[in-house]
C-alpha cells in the first residue's frame, strides 16, 4: 500500500511516498528560505503563493523519485492543522483533487503529532506512551502522548515560539536567516555565561508553559537600550555577537530542558520524544541527552533530516488508516492550536470513523 503524504503547513512544500510498513519510497522538500530571508521571518502571503506554485511540481518529482504513477497510490494524506491558513489550504486542495481523481481515501494529519511520530520512524520501535516536546518556529509545546493519535496538551508558549525567538534575535545580531543555524554557529565561539539573560517561568515548577518574549526584549535592550528601535548604526564586535548568541541560546535551552523533565516528573512517564526544527540544535540535543542519562530517562530526538518540516513524518497517516480514520471531502483546515487539556487530533467533528 502506497500513501502520498503532503506537508504545506508553513513555508516548506513537501511530499513523500510511504508504505503501510513505514518504508519511505521518496521524499522531496522545496524550501522558501530565499524568499523570506530579507524579512527575517516567514511572511504568510508570500509563503502561500509559493506553495501554490510549487505543490504540483513537488508531487510530480516525488512520484518520479518513487518510480510510481498516480494509479499506484492507495491514499493521500495531508497536514491540515495547525499552520498558516493559506499554506494549509494549498495542500488540502491538492490532496482532495488527487483523491477525487483517483477515487482513493483522504487522510488528515496533525502537524504536531507528526513531529513526534518522526521519533517513531527513526527508532523503528514503539515510543508511546511518552512526553512529547515540539519546538519549532511556530510551536513550543509539551504533550502527554498516550499513543500516536491521542495527545493531551500539558503546556505551551504563552507568547513567542522558540524558533521565532531565534529568528528575531539573529536579525538583531546581524546574522543571516534562518536564525537557528546562524545563532548556533555564532554561539560556538561565545561564552554562554557572558550575559545573564532571563529564564522565564523556570521558577514556577508546577507550570509547564514557556515564554520567550521577555528574553527577546532582554537581548534587544542589551544591544540598544530600552528607547532605541533602530539597529542600523549599532556595530557589535564579533566577540559581542558570539557571546550574546551563546547566552541567548543557553537561556532557551535551559527553559526547554527544565520544562521537559518537569513534564516527565508530573506525568510519571519515563520516555521523552523531541521533534521540530529547533530540535536540530546541537546544544539542545546535548543537554537533553546529558539530563536523560542522569535521570535514567529514555530519550528519542528526531534525526536532523526529520526535524524541519517534511512529509516523511506524515507517515503517521498509516496509524490513522489502521484505525479506520479517513475524511470526507468537506474536510477543512484548522490553523490554530487547541490550548486546553484535551486530545489535539482536531476540534469536535473533525475526524470521522469509517463504518
pLDDT at 40: 84
Residue 244 has pLDDT above 50, yes or no: yes
Residue 30 has pLDDT above 80, yes or no: yes
CA distance 82 to 161: 14
Same domain, 93 and 218: no
Average pLDDT over residues 305-309: 95
pLDDT at 232: 65
Calculate the dihedral angle through the C-alpha atoms of 276, 141, 14, 322, rounding to the nearest 10 degrees: 110
**Is 259 inside a domain boundary?**
yes
Same domain, 316 and 295: no
Query: Where would I find the beta strands (DSSP E) of the chain?
Result: 2-7, 13-19, 24-30, 75-81, 106-110, 130-135, 140-147, 150-156, 271-275, 298-301, 325-326, 352-353
Contact 133, 256 (CB under 8 A): yes
**Is 346 inside a domain boundary?**
no
Residue 39 has pLDDT above 90, yes or no: no
Cis peptide before 41 (omega within 30 of 0): no
Same domain, 219 and 314: no
Between CA 92 and CA 95, with CA 94 as vertex, the angle to 5 degrees is 65
pLDDT at 354: 31
**Is 207 inside a domain boundary?**
yes
Same domain, 180 and 227: yes
Same domain, 294 and 173: yes
pLDDT band at 355 (very low <50, low <70, confident <90, very high): very low
Average pLDDT over residues 33-39: 89
pLDDT at 352: 31
pLDDT at 227: 74
Same domain, 277 and 197: yes
Residue 350 has pLDDT above 50, yes or no: no
**Is 287 inside a domain boundary?**
yes
Of 81, 133, 120, residue with least CA distance to 347: 81
Residue 229 has pLDDT above 80, yes or no: no
Same domain, 23 and 56: yes
Same domain, 138 and 267: yes
Q: Which domain holds residue 106?
A: 2-115+307-338
**Is 351 inside a domain boundary?**
no
Cis peptide before 129 (omega within 30 of 0): yes
pLDDT greater at residue 219 or residue 347? 219
pLDDT at 353: 28
How many Cα atoms within 13 Å fall on the side-chain side of residue 56?
6
pLDDT band at 165 (very low <50, low <70, confident <90, very high): very high
Same domain, 207 and 290: yes
**Is 343 inside a domain boundary?**
no
b/e sequence 157-167, b meaning 16+ C-beta within 10 Å = bebbbbbbbbb
Average pLDDT over residues 5-12: 97
**Is 275 inside a domain boundary?**
yes
Query: Where would I find the beta strands (DSSP E) of 291-353?
Result: 298-301, 325-326, 352-353
Same domain, 61 and 167: no
* Tally of structural domains, the chain: 2
Same domain, 247 and 237: yes
**Is 349 inside a domain boundary?**
no
Average pLDDT over residues 24-35: 95
The CATH number given to whatever domain includes residue 293 is 3.30.420.40
Residue 313 has pLDDT above 90, yes or no: yes
Same domain, 141 and 179: yes
Amino acid at each position: 500500500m502506497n500513501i502520498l503524504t503532503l506537508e504545506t503547513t508553513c513555508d516548506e512544500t513537501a511530499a513523500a511516498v510511504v508504505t503501510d510498513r513505514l518504508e519511505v519510497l521518496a521524499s522531496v522538500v522545496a524550501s522558501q528560505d530565499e524568499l523570506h530571508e530579507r524579512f527575517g521571518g516567514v511572511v504568510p502571503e508570500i509563503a502561500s503563493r509559493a506553495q501554490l506554485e510549487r505543490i504540483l511540481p513537488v508531487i510530480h518529482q516525488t512520484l518520479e523519485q518513487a518510480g510510481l504513477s498516480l494509479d499506484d497510490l492507495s491514499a493521500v494524506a495531508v497536514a491540515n492543522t495547525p499552520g498558516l491558513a493559506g499554506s494549509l489550504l494549498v495542500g488540502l486542495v491538492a490532496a482532495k483533487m488527487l483523491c477525487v481523481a483517483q477515487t482513493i481515501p483522504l487522510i488528515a494529519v496533525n502537524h504536531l503529532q507528526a513531529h513526534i511520530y518522526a521519533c517513531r520512524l527513526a527508532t523503528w520501535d514503539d515510543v508511546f506512551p511518552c512526553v512529547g516536546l515540539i519546538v519549532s518556529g511556530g510551536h513550543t509545546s509539551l504533550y502527554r502522548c498516550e499513543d500516536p493519535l491521542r495527545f493531551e496538551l500539558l503546556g505551551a508558549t504563552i507568547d513567542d515560539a522558540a524558533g521565532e525567538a531565534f529568528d528575531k534575535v539573529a536579525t538583531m545580531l546581524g546574522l543571516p536567516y534562518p536564525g537557528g543555524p546562524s545563532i548556533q554557529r555564532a554561539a560556538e565561539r561565545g561564552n554562554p555565561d557572558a550575559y545573564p539573560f532571563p529564564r522565564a517561568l523556570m521558577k514556577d515548577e508546577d507550570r509547564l508553559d514557556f515564554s520567550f518574549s521577555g528574553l527577546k526584549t532582554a537581548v534587544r535592550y542589551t544591544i540598544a537600550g530600552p528607547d532605541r528601535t533602530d539597529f542600523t548604526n549599532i556595530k557589535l564586535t564579533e566577540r559581542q555577537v558570539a557571546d550574546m548568541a551563546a547566552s541567548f541560546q543557553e537561556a532557551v535551552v535551559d527553559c526547554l530542558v527544565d520544562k521537559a523533565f518537569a513534564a516527565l516528573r508530573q506525568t510519571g512517564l519515563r520516555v521523552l520524544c523531541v521533534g521540530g526544527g529547533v530540535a536540530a540544535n546541537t546544544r539542545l540535543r546535548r543537554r537533553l541527552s546529558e539530563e536523560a542519562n542522569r535521570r535514567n530517562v529514555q530519550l528519542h530526538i528526531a534525526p536532523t533530516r526529520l526535524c524541519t518540516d517534511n512529509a516523511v513524518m506524515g507517515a503517521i497517516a498509516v496509524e490513522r488508516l489502521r484505525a479506520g480514520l479517513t475524511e470526507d471531502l468537506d474536510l477543512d483546515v484548522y490553523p490554530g492550536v487547541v490550548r486546553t487539556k484535551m486530545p489535539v487530533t482536531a476540534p469536535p467533528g473533525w475526524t470521522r470513523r469509517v463504518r
